[in-house]
Every structure is written in C-alpha cells, then in structure tokens.
Amino acid sequence: MNGSQRQPGTVPAAAAVPPCDPVAAAGDAAAAIARIHQDIVACRRCPRLVAYTAQVARTRRRAYRDWDYWGRPVPGFGDPQARLLVVGLAPAAHGANRTGRMFTGDSSGDWLYRALYRAGFASQPTATHRDDGLRLHGAYITAACRCAPPDNKPSREELAACSAFLRRELDVLWPGVRVIVCLGQIAFDAVLRQVRDRGLGWPVEVPPGAGALAGTNRPRPVRPRFRHGGEYRWPAPSRVPTAEDSGDPGDPATPGERPPLPLPVLLASYHPSRQNTQTGRLTEAMFDAVFRRARELVDGGYLPAAPAPAAPGESRREGA
C-alpha cells in the first residue's frame, strides 16, 4: 500500500489544509471568504468529529425530529468587511450542527445575538435558522473548531487541524478588524497563537481606566492570562504605512510622518454557555459590557480601558 499509515481516529497533518486563498491577495474579501467556507464545509479531516456530527444528525433530539440537520463543519458567518471579529469554541451539537450557522439555534446564540443587536452589530436579536433574515453589520463570527465535538471538548489535535481555517479567515479580515472578542479560554488561546505566528508576540493587558495607549509600546514576554472583561493590546508595530501601501505614489508624506498601522484590540469574555449563564458566572450586564466596549473601540478608536461589571460575589477567575 502506498502512503503513510496512521492509527484510526487520528488527525492528519495540518499541511493538508490549503494555504491562504490567492483571491485574498487580490483584495476580494467576499470571494475569499466564500472559498474558505466551501473548504470548511468539505473538510473531513478529523474522523472522531465527522462520525459524531453525522451520528447526531441521524439520531436528532426529539424536539428537532422534523429538522434536516446540517451535520457537517460549520463555516463562519458575517460581514467580509468586518471591524469586529467574534471567536467562539465550536458548534453546539443541536445548535449550529443542526442549523448550519454559527451560534444559531441554541441558548449561547440567544445570548450572543441579543448582545450584538444591542451593540448595533446585528439586524435582529434572534437567530433560529439560516434563512431567518439575520444580518451582521461590520461583524464576523467564527470558532476555534468547526465541528461539534463530543461533550463540547475538541482535542488538541482537532483544534490544530482547524487552526488553518482561522488563519485563512484572519488573512482576509485582518486589514479591517479593529476588535477581536474571544468567547472563553480556548478561543482566547487560539487567537493568541494566530497573532503570535504573525510575529506580534504577546499582547499587554490594559488596566481599567488606563490611558488610551498605556503599555502598548512595551514588549511583553509573558503570555497574558484570560480574564473576563480583559482588554489586551499588542505593542505598536515599528513599521508604518508608506505611499506604496496606500497606492498613491504621489503622496508627499514620508514614513516617519505616518502613524503606525492599527492593530486590533483583544477583548475577553466568558463563553455564554449554560454552565456560565445558569450559574450566574456570566450575566447579561457583563456580556453587554464587552460588546459595548467593542462598539466604542470600533467607532472611536483607542479609548481608555473601561471596567466591566462583575457577577455578584465573583472573584476574577479564568474562564472556560
């Protein structure tokens, strides 16, 4: 038999996922995102996840017995010109794995779209199915893992297999994104890895009430901790835009006169899972504060960091 052998249920090497789509280099974000979505839906790289999503789609939950489950990897959803990027963990077995759209058809999505609607990023506060009329304005939602995992726990190998899709989305969205909201520790870790791979190192957490650019010019050799309501910024890049970047060779400005290229601000939130919302670890006030801050940053630039409300009696714990 030709080819290498591997144990059943293991994940093939990440190189099997295509690199950055060449359409992105031409600046056609919508076409590039559409191509990535096609590749995500067609992916069958993780045997455990392929089997689980198909099994859930066959057996269904009694409440959804009349549904034709999606039962495949779920692509991202939103505006290809997004200034806000929301990164979650993975599709829910009877949520996005049923409906085929991120955070659609489950309680986590109910929380997320209400918050996005109140912050002006969504056309409506509800998400029930792919044809419900929901539109995102300047926002895009994706996840660290694209298939519903058993017990909501993708393996390290499965997350690594999916990481190339997140990288490709970032390749397309990065020039316009001003804020990245990470829902939970796994999403936070996935984004840190992606940005670190771009040579930007670790971000600095900005204390609540600090000045607009406090700490952003200091290198940070230590990996930051996840904290709900945390606001993190990368050190300002040394490179600045040039006339060639703007496409205007006649622009008289010199590189020394240009401001640095803007980098996204990273905001951390507990994931709106039932485990967090039903225990009071995450309240709607806490969740809304994160997206209100995202709106401020998208609209107004680098404002002083704002404190987020805490749950009653909450100690500042790392999220899940």
CB atoms within 10 A of CB 220: 17
pLDDT of amino acid 35: 97
What is the C-alpha radius of gyration for the chain, rounded to an integer number of angstroms?
A: 20
CB atoms within 10 A of CB 234: 20
Strand ranges inside the chain, DSSP E: 77-78, 84-88, 139-143, 179-183, 204-205, 231-233, 265-269
Lowest mean pLDDT among 58-62, 100-104, 178-182, 252-256: 252-256
pLDDT of amino acid 122: 98
pLDDT of amino acid 208: 73
Q: Which domains does the chain have, with CATH numbers?
A: 27-245+260-300 (3.40.470.10)
Cα–Cα distance measured from residue 292 to residue 267, given in angstroms and rounded to the nearest whole number = 11
Whether 290 and 269 have beta carbons less than 8 Å apart is answered as yes
Q: In the numeric block, which tokens belong to residue 195?
A: 């940005």
222: confidence class by pLDDT, cuts 50, 70, 90: confident
pLDDT of amino acid 262: 72
Does the pLDDT at position 4 exceed 90? no
Phi, psi of 233 (to 5 degrees): -135, 140
Does the pLDDT at position 13 exceed 90? no
pLDDT digits (tens, 9 = 90+) for 19-61: 444 444 435 899 999 999 999 999 999 999 999 999 999 999 9
Does the pLDDT at position 288 exceed 80? yes
Pick the more confident residue, 54 or 211.
54
* Three-state DSSP class for residue 173: helix
pLDDT digits (tens, 9 = 90+) for 293-309: 999 999 985 555 544 44
N residues, the chain: 320
pLDDT of amino acid 221: 67
Three-class secondary structure assignment of 37-77: HHHHHHCCCCHHHHHHHHHHHHHCCHHHCCCCCCCCCCCCE
Cα–Cα distance measured from residue 15 to residue 263, given in angstroms and rounded to the nearest whole number = 28
Whether 161 and 14 have beta carbons less than 8 Å apart is answered as yes
Does the pLDDT at position 317 exceed 90? no
- Of 3, 2, 30, 29, the C-alpha closest to 16 is 3
Cα–Cα distance measured from residue 168 to residue 146, given in angstroms and rounded to the nearest whole number = 14
Beta strand pairing status for 179-183 and 204-205?
unpaired
216: confidence class by pLDDT, cuts 50, 70, 90: low
Does the pLDDT at position 253 exceed 90? no
* Three-state DSSP class for residue 32: helix
pLDDT of amino acid 280: 97
Question: 């726990």: which residue's tokens?
Answer: 153
